[in-house]
Amino acid sequence: MNNYLVFDWGGTFLKYAIIDKKANIIEKDKVPTPQPTNDNEADRKVFFGVIDEIVAKYKDGVDGIAISMPGMIDIRRGYTMTAGWLRYLTGMYLVDYMSARYGLRVAVQNDGKCAALAEYWKGSLSDVKNGAVMVLGTAVGGGIIIDGKLYSGTHFSAGEYSFMFLNAKDKEFDSTWGYYGAKGLIKEVAKITGDDPEKLDGIELFERANAGEEGVLKGLKNYTDVMAVSLYNLNVLFDFDKIAIGGGISKQPLLLEYIQESIKEFDSKNPLRAFDDYVPQPNVVVTKFNNDANLIGALFNYNSIYKEFGRFRKK
């Protein structure tokens, strides 16, 4: 059949798609995510009741199930060490559970890492050996590719950028990189303009920015200045070919323009440039797949585990 049922489980929606072996999306849809309560057992039952209905619809026409989800995932054991907002899925041998439940092969991977795999396979990182994806969503997630392979780290937490501190003296959440997702941008703009951050959304923000509103542009610059420092530091550590920015706000050309300007400005002020001018600036681009990246990357992960339809790349 060479078609696969691919899930992207998020805190708001459970997205799913039928995707062929060449990463063509044949059809896709989404349903609301069952929200957690204080009863993990009951929540799990509700959750898999929803999944049961989706799998029943497609089971006879697919060769396997691939999953992207939040949390630290041990893909070797198919075990959810954590599960982010879907905390009722924490501590499950998810692959064994779902394989037994549905009679299909199953693979699971962290959502940010799936985004990186998608861009490495067929997206903005397809021509690189070392790169990273950074997804600016509610928080900041992503993944790291080193020597043509996904780097997961000892505890499968590599690429969890949200946990990085931006200010060592301030231990509040606002000082972590997680704050600097899309909501972080809104808060930075609201500090300047006086808008209620709860009522300001990204669409309105960029409409005003593209119209040249001074306060919005100043807030955007403050946001990208912080981003530039983090991107610069990552690049010093890993010497990437490219860093691809994803998430809804990455579709705005003005964001990439401001990030690149902030990086150039920050780098020009680095006093070490007087001694060594060779360390390159980060090469920042935007992702290709955006909201479909987790789905595409989950399929890549599935194949890396089962080797079902040959090598993706000649490297």
Query: What residue ranges define each of the domains in the chain, with the CATH number in brackets?
Result: 3-110+292-306 (3.30.420.40), 126-287 (3.30.420.40)
Element containing residue 31 per DSSP (H, E): strand 25-32
pLDDT at 261 (0 to 100): 96
How many C-alpha atoms does 268 have within 13 Å on its Cβ side?
Answer: 7
Look at residues 114, 130, 216, 135 and name the one whose alpha carbon lies nearest to residue 177. 135
pLDDT at 111 (0 to 100): 95
Q: State both tokens at 119.
A: 């861009």
DSSP 3-state of 49? helix
pLDDT at 313 (0 to 100): 39
- How far, rounded to the nearest angstrom, does the alpha carbon of residue 85 sit from its chain's CA centroid? 14
b/e map 253-262, b = 16+ CB within 10 Å: eebbebbbeb
* CA atoms of 69 and 8, how far apart (whole Å): 6
DSSP 3-state of 103? coil
CA quadruple 236, 238, 241, 242: dihedral positive or negative? negative
Instruction: Spell out, as residue ranges, where the chain has pLDDT lower than 50.
Output: 311-315
Q: State both tokens at 126.
A: 């397809």
Residue that the structure tokens 């955007």 belong to? 220
pLDDT at 275 (0 to 100): 63
Q: Please, what is the average pLDDT of the chain?
A: 91
pLDDT at 311 (0 to 100): 42
pLDDT at 314 (0 to 100): 34
b/e map 144-153, b = 16+ CB within 10 Å: bbeeeebbbe
